[in-house]
Amino acid sequence: MINVKTANESENPVATREPAVLDDADEHVSADLEPIQKWLTVLAKANERKAHYDSIIEQAKDKIKEYLEQNEADQGVINGKTVVTYHTVRSTKFLTSKLKTQYPELAEQFTETTETRRFVPKYEELA
């Protein structure tokens, strides 16, 4: 288990944060995360554990699916209760790439650019 002590209000680095620094080389605004470095450590360790458990989950799913397929079944039961289903799902997708290729003007009329922020930890830098 990962234990993290929460700082009291006077120790809260967010409340007393350092000013951001503009990095001229690539026009990014940087903030010194040293005051909350423990959260980066928590994130990195939790991500390692998640990857480990994701692997175990996938392995378990594969074994269950393999067993169902061998038995030509689309559900699995234990003590008469359905505990897992495994069936084909059909979906219809709109091929935007094909529309852009064949009708670029039409595709542009129905295209909208949006902005979001993406959080991307650099785990190799935290090690």
Note the pLDDT tens digit of each residue in 67-118.
999 999 999 999 999 999 999 999 999 999 999 999 999 999 999 999 999 9
**Which pair of structure tokens corresponds to residue 88?**
């084909």
Positive or negative, the CA dihedral 117, 12, 124, 54 is: negative
> What is the reported pLDDT for 25?
59
In a domain, 67, yes or no: yes
Residue 105, class by beta-carbon neighbours within 10 Å (0-12 exposed, 13-18 middle, 19+ buried)? exposed
In a domain, 125, yes or no: no
Total count of domains within the chain: 1
In a domain, 77, yes or no: yes
In a domain, 113, yes or no: no
What is the span of the domain harbouring residue 79?
Answer: 9-85
DSSP 3-state assignment of 124?
helix
In a domain, 2, yes or no: no
pTM: 0.63
